[in-house]
Amino acid sequence: MSAVRRSARAGSPPTGRYRQRGINVEVEALIAGLCSALIALGFAFIVFGGMSVPIWTDWAWGEWSIGMVSVSAVVVLGTVAAGVGYWRSRRLVGQEWRLELPTWKFTLDAIVVAIVHTALGALATAVLLFVVQLAFRRLTIDPVSASIGCAVTTGLAAYMLYLAVSRLNTVSLSQRMFLFVGVGLLTAMATSTDPVWWRYQISVLGAFGNRPSISFNAILIVAGILVTTFALYVDRDIRNLHTARVIRYRGAAPLVSTLFIAMGVALAGIGMVPVNVSVTVHNVFAIGLSAIFGLLMLVSPIALRGMPLPFFLATLGGLVLLIGATWLFYGPSILPLTNYELIAFGVLFAWITMFVRFLAALLVSNAAELEARTQEQLQEAAGPAQQKRSRVSFKRATKAEEAARAAAPWPETVADSEPGRSRETETETETGSGPGTESGPGTESGTGTESGTGAASGTGNKPGTEPDTDAPGEAQPAEPSPRTVPLPDDLPPQPPLPNPHDTGLRR
């Protein structure tokens, strides 16, 4: 499909089918929740094996609980529900821009979004059941009730995940990214095997090789991939603001999105190479993340020219705070490394949240201008194709007109026949023969009959004399009145045919 057609389709106004698709999202989410609940019910009933189980217990193979089964079911079924919901929602109003993405980019985007939302759902499920276990200590539940509890928990999680990914935008994605990273880091801190990890640095949380360390590194990797996917949404919003003549420079979108992708790669590299694997490579990724983020804040007043002044003032404040923390850590060394990393992470995610909210506010306030400019661009892009179609239509119309003109009859001028006259008489009149009959040998009748002796008779004329039109006893034929066949409207009028009774002689 050509870019013009993709843009026209992505920028077209919502039709009845799209509106019906928005209603069907609720039905599809309900179906996804019911299917997930039934699958979780069967899985839990098989796993529990007729034994009473607690609500929550430590993760150990063979020691099942409602929390372990529910979290496992949410991880699998929630990922499927989120992926299907994100794929099915690309034709909703406000989500059509995803139709323009290449297949590989949309696939990567869908996978990352599904993983992040599933991770949030699994964390929320674990926290909920852990708190419930604290409320009902030493309680064990029969296998039927425990299976039903797993089914309800998994079904609600799948239903909410399907709806969450179906109406995703830049602001909601940034909030969930911040929530995912924040909850993941707090979970890793709370479950670390070293209670005094804060004496070293945050990166030491992923250096122990146990389950909390693996979770910490996985959170950083997924967060980095999410930042690279987040660049797609930022790129789309900046391009829309440039179309609405808010952002001045066209290169702002690729520049900012490229820096976001670089930050995502650096963040994922921190998780892929923990400090116990390679301190040098780990520090390269960590310092690179801070440097790229500082560069983004430095170029934002130029690249994002057109944004409100308070945004640039807040950016300047964040940049000053980051530079000051860096100087305090590397200069007098009065700032611990853990504090420096916490400040850097806080400034990073706070600035991203502020940035996307300003983008969203500008898009809302300039929605009318954006729609008008989008329609103009679509018309300009479709101009050559429209002109070609117009030329083809004109040629077809011209050929049809020529064919109709060739098939249309030419106008005829005929004499009105007298009552009772036959068609043969009219033919003779048109060819110049009179109505007379033969009167004898050597005699002809008509307008120029002569006797056998050469005497003129009837209306005959002698050579050199003028025709006698007032001869008595002769019935003069009536002057035929011309009868013109109506012409089509698209043909020019044709001159009448010459009168057959006009001899061309003048007095």
Last residue of a domain, one of 366, 384, 402: 384
Give the pLDDT score at 413: 43
The closest of 426, 428, 480, 434 to 457, measured between CA atoms, is 434
- 395 close to 465: Cβ distance less than 8 angstroms: no
Last residue of a domain, one of 343, 362, 384: 384
DSSP β-bridge partners for residue 456: 450
Q: What is the mean pLDDT of residues 183-198?
A: 84
Residues 216 and 89 grouped into a single domain: no
How far apart, in whole angstroms, are the C-alpha atoms of residue 317 and residue 330?
20
Please check the confidence at residue 222 and state whether its pLDDT lies above 60: yes
* Segment 413-459, tens digit of pLDDT: 444 444 444 444 444 444 444 444 444 443 444 344 343 333 334 44
Q: Is residue 7 part of a domain?
A: yes
The closest of 384, 113, 409 to 233, measured between CA atoms, is 113
How far apart, in whole angstroms, are the C-alpha atoms of residue 186 and residue 215?
11
Give the pLDDT score at 476: 53
How far apart, in whole angstroms, are the C-alpha atoms of residue 81 and residue 32?
6
> Residue 485: pLDDT band by 50, 70, 90 thresholds?
low
Sheet strands (E) in 371-434: none
Residues 347 and 202 grouped into a single domain: yes
Q: Is residue 493 part of a domain?
A: no
DSSP conformation class of 203: G
Q: Give the SS3 label for residue 53.
A: strand
| Residue-range definition of the domain harbouring residue 28 | 1-168
The closest of 364, 389, 374, 381 to 12, measured between CA atoms, is 374
- 378 close to 370: Cβ distance less than 8 angstroms: no
Q: State the first-to-last Cα distance of the chain, in angstroms, to the nearest integer.
A: 81
Among 176-190, 205-219, 360-374, 376-390, name the one with the lowest average pLDDT: 376-390
Give the pLDDT score at 447: 41
Distances (CA, A) of 269 to 173, 272, 285: 22, 5, 6
How far apart, in whole angstroms, are the C-alpha atoms of residue 278 and residue 281?
6
Residues 204 and 156 grouped into a single domain: no
Residues 60 and 195 grouped into a single domain: no
- 108 close to 229: Cβ distance less than 8 angstroms: yes
Residues 144 and 235 grouped into a single domain: no
Q: What is the mean pLDDT of residues 109-137?
A: 88
Residues 247 and 291 grouped into a single domain: yes
How far apart, in whole angstroms, are the C-alpha atoms of residue 483 and residue 496?
9
Residues 138 and 210 grouped into a single domain: no
How far apart, in whole angstroms, are the C-alpha atoms of residue 459 and residue 454?
14
Q: What is the mean pLDDT of residues 81-108?
A: 83
> Residue 83: pLDDT band by 50, 70, 90 thresholds?
very high
Please check the confidence at residue 240 and state whether its pLDDT lies above 80: yes
DSSP β-bridge partners for residue 440: 443
And the tokens for 408? Answer: 């249309």
Is the pTM above the cut of 0.75? no
DSSP conformation class of 483: -
- 205 close to 213: Cβ distance less than 8 angstroms: yes
Please check the confidence at residue 46 and state whether its pLDDT lies above 60: yes
Q: What is the mean pLDDT of residues 2-18?
A: 44
The count of structural domains within the chain is 2
Q: Is residue 128 part of a domain?
A: yes
- 85 close to 26: Cβ distance less than 8 angstroms: no
Q: Would you state the torsion angle of the CA atoms of residues 118, 124, 128, 131, taken in this order, to the nearest 10 degrees?
A: 130
Please check the confidence at residue 51 and state whether its pLDDT lies above 90: no
Q: Is residue 265 part of a domain?
A: yes
Give the pLDDT score at 333: 79
And the tokens for 2? Answer: 């050509």
Give the pLDDT score at 416: 44
Last residue of a domain, one of 145, 168, 191: 168
- 304 close to 257: Cβ distance less than 8 angstroms: no
> Residue 379: pLDDT band by 50, 70, 90 thresholds?
low
> Residue 378: pLDDT band by 50, 70, 90 thresholds?
low
**Over pLDDT 90: what percentage of the chain?**
21
Question: How many Å is the Cα radius of gyration of the chain?
Answer: 46
Average per-residue pLDDT in the chain? Answer: 76
Which of residues 399 and 190 earns the better pLDDT score? 190
Residues 164 and 93 grouped into a single domain: yes
Residues 183 and 133 grouped into a single domain: no
Q: Is residue 377 part of a domain?
A: yes
Residues 122 and 215 grouped into a single domain: no
Residues 81 and 206 grouped into a single domain: no
Burial class (CB in 10 A: 0-12, 13-18, 19+), 159: buried
Give the pLDDT score at 505: 61
- Tell me phi and psi for residue 116, to 5 degrees: -65, -45
Q: Is residue 441 part of a domain?
A: no
Q: What is the mean pLDDT of residues 171-187?
A: 84
Among 13-27, 54-68, 211-225, 338-352, name the one with the lowest average pLDDT: 13-27
Q: Is residue 44 part of a domain?
A: yes
Residues 9 and 103 grouped into a single domain: yes
Q: Is residue 127 part of a domain?
A: yes
Give the pLDDT score at 458: 41
Give the pLDDT score at 105: 79
